[in-house]
Structure 1
Amino acid sequence: MGKGGMSHGDVKDGEEENMAAWLLGVNNLKIQPFKLPPLGPHDARIRMKAVGICRSDVHYLKEMRIADFVVKEPMVIGHECAGIIEEVGSEVKHLVPGDRVAIEPGIGCMRCDLCKEGRYNLCPEMKSFASPPVHGSLANQIVHPADVCFKLPDDVSLEEGAMCEPLSVGVHACRRANVGPETNVLVMGAGPIGLVTMLSARAFGSSRIVIVDVDDHRLSVAKQLGADKTVKVSTSLNDIPTEVEQIKKAMGGAIEISFDCVGFTKTMSTALSATSSGGKVCLVGLGHTEMTLPIAPAAIREVDVVGIFRYKNTWPLCIEFLRSGKIDVKPLITHRFGFSQKEVEEAFETSARGGTAIKVMFNL
């Protein structure tokens, strides 16, 4: 097990000291001891095996905040994860030590109206790994409610299990937008979330998918992963009318659903203009908090705008998509690192640089 080559204090009874990657300040990540809470009757103690880096993790490292989520004290980072059950609480019946599990990072209060309706992702009391002040999962071991730990079939790897978290965003978006076999789908942005949204739309039955980006390499990856057509665009708002025509031509039919996986004024304006009358635009990426958009022209064509926040009840379907081969996330994992101080720093730098990196994964 990686301890980052560091030794901290005495550990009783020859036990291994639990270590985690702590965010201490801007560009300051340190592997330090992480004391686990006691195991409750409904909890599981899990040895982490695969943890992916998300753009939000990088954002916290660079800025110490995302919108209203501010890191005010040292916090363990990471939330895309899978591991092996070490111990379960007295009331846990569906898991035993040795089980390999994918872990849903968020827990609603399960008492408010939104939770009771099943929309626990919108719970105002939601506690989610590495959303301040809740500690994350880039650690040797964690304790988490067992009912959000999902057993992996033998033929789904732990890395694929960790990929269920980003994949859940795409699955939730497709559910919100009602993607089906008769839906032509446009995806704005070929980053990790754009790619999992594209893969999800295909698994939901969409027969034609066009994906748009500013970067040639990302578009080539999208093509390899099964996009029917790709369109390269600029960052200039002035190019929207021309690009919308190119996108419509690439689709060769009505664009029923557009997913904006970037969330900039330009991408959202393009999606609103390109989507056919009576269609839907689903805002997935949140690049700009405020935008000036051509809403009226879209509204008079009855284009619906829907938003998503994280996901709900997606892990079983994600695991089934992976088990059945309907979705293959393995090509998205481009870089792998171990769990040492040096490798943690290198991994985050690799993810932040972008370039050819799609998903950077820790193997613990």
Structure 2
Amino acid sequence: MGNAAAVMTGLNSIEIQERPMPEPAPGQAVIRVEAVGVCGSDVAYYRYGKIGPFVVDGPFILGHEVSGQVVAVGDGVDNVNVGDRVAVEPGTPDRSCEECRAGRYHLCPNLEFLATPPYDGALLQYLAMDARCYFPIPDSMSYEHGALLEPLSVGLWGCQRANLQAGDDVLITGAGPVGLLAAEAARALGAGSVSLTDISDYRLGVARDHGFAVEKSDAPTSRTFDVLLECSGAPGVLAAGLGRLHEAGRAAVIGLAKSEEVPLPLSTLNWKEITISMVNRYKDTWPLGIALVSSGRINLEGLVTHSFSLPQTAAALENTSTEPESLKAMIYPQRL
């Protein structure tokens, strides 16, 4: 039994290589990887070799939106069993530092996050991780939807960081996969209304099909909102979105801006007492996400627009630039 991996050997270069078959250490479990979603961070590493301080140095495996089936468990594992279908939370904290002890494990300075240098990702056939990062999913949930729980978790955590309350009117800027999933999360958590903005007619069409109000970014209405979830990272969008909040409005910044410095209208924000929260991934979101998806409260249909085998990984990473009607590309490592 082999363990084929899609290895980034240089910028814009992927090779299929064999990696050792993993054995579970105590507390670990091995999964057969069934589905891996392509994230914008994977594309950035593939094209540019770095994101901020994280630099690819040598052969590297991408992929952190993962689901699979447990094939082996190590000593002391009691939360999953062989045969369980699982979704993967891709960050392993040390569970002993000050942040972890305070319950902020996602801010652990020693977090080992899949596909964030120097840690390889999940675009291979078999993966060993701390079993506490695995969450069983019901048979009714597809592996594709299991992998989508990772970007959905970003949306769920963004809603929590913005202190979203039942009945809030929510504006989401950016209707890509994270924006659409943040919209689904906001609606499931009780938002009174959810509106998305984007420059893409295709993405706004998908949002409309999911039952959300939409606006073109270059033709905004005068409507104002209680909560802003900024998911685009595009220049000027955060400031414009903050300007559309009511008094005591709350915002969560989810999309990463390319510039480290972003101008904000501080006099307006002060006058209205706007609260701005930053979002760094997520914490404690997988059980909630699984419950909301499996109960039908969140609709993931239609978000996976393109499918690829493991040898087609390069095409999957190039998908958003080659296909204008692309949302989420999904790679299936068992397909060779």
Q: Same fold (TM over 0.5)?
A: yes
Residues 71 and 132 in structure 1, CA contact (< 8 A), matched pair in contact too: yes
Question: Aligned partners of 1:173 and 1:356: how far apart in 2?
Answer: 26
**2:297 matches 1:326:** yes
> Alpha carbon RMSD of aligned pairs, Å?
1.3
For the residue of structure 1 that corresponds to 2:225, the secondary structure is coil
Residue matched to 1:255: 225
Identity of aligned residues (%): 36
**2:262 matches 1:291:** yes
**What's the TM-score, normalizing by structure 1?**
0.88
Residue matched to 1:148: 133
Residues 172 and 230 in structure 2, CA contact (< 8 A), matched pair in contact too: yes
Question: Aligned partners of 1:215 and 1:344: how far apart in 2?
Answer: 25
For the residue of structure 2 that corresponds to 1:223, the secondary structure is helix
Residues 22 and 126 in structure 2, CA contact (< 8 A), matched pair in contact too: no
Return the match for 2:247 from 274, 277, 283.
277
Distance change (3 Å), C-alpha of 1:188 and 1:147: same
Residue matched to 1:358: 327
Residue matched to 1:19: 4
Return the match for 1:183 from 160, 168, 175.
168
Return the match for 1:157 from 129, 132, 142.
142
1:175-324 alignment, distance < 5 Å: 175-227=160-212, 229-234=213-218, 243=220, 246-248=221-223, 254-288=224-258, 289-324=260-295
Question: Aligned partners of 1:269 and 1:295: how far apart in 2?
Answer: 9
What letter is aligned with 1:231?
E
**Number of equivalences:** 332
For the residue of structure 2 that corresponds to 1:139, the secondary structure is coil
Residues 45 and 51 in structure 2, CA contact (< 8 A), matched pair in contact too: yes
Distance change (3 Å), C-alpha of 1:298 and 1:177: same
* 1:59 Cα deviation after fit: 0.6
Question: Aligned partners of 1:356 and 1:295: how far apart in 2?
Answer: 37
Residues 22 and 30 in structure 2, CA contact (< 8 A), matched pair in contact too: no
What letter is aligned with 1:275?
L
What letter is aligned with 2:329?
V
Question: Aligned partners of 2:177 and 2:26: how far apart in 1?
Answer: 36
For the residue of structure 2 that corresponds to 1:185, the secondary structure is strand
Question: Aligned partners of 2:168 and 2:160: how far apart in 1?
Answer: 12
Question: Aligned partners of 2:28 and 2:178: how far apart in 1?
Answer: 30
Residues 53 and 351 in structure 1, CA contact (< 8 A), matched pair in contact too: no
Residue matched to 1:114: 99
Distance change (3 Å), C-alpha of 1:353 and 1:180: farther
Distance change (3 Å), C-alpha of 1:296 and 1:317: same
What letter is aligned with 2:287?
P
**What's the TM-score, normalizing by structure 2?**
0.96
Question: Aligned partners of 1:132 and 1:328: how far apart in 2?
Answer: 32
Return the match for 1:349 from 312, 318, 321.
318
CA deviation map 1:199-250 (0-9, x unaligned): 00001011211111111111111111121x211123xxxxxxx73xx141xx
Question: Aligned partners of 2:78 and 2:198: how far apart in 1?
Answer: 46
Question: Aligned partners of 1:56 and 1:300: how far apart in 2?
Answer: 36
* 1:122 Cα deviation after fit: 1.0
What letter is aligned with 1:265?
P
Bigger Rg over Cα: 1
Distance change (3 Å), C-alpha of 1:110 and 1:184: same
* 1:157 Cα deviation after fit: 1.2
Residues 62 and 122 in structure 2, CA contact (< 8 A), matched pair in contact too: yes
Question: Aligned partners of 1:352 and 1:290: how far apart in 2?
Answer: 27
For the residue of structure 2 that corresponds to 1:96, the secondary structure is coil
Question: Aligned partners of 1:278 and 1:211: how far apart in 2?
Answer: 21
Residues 308 and 331 in structure 2, CA contact (< 8 A), matched pair in contact too: yes
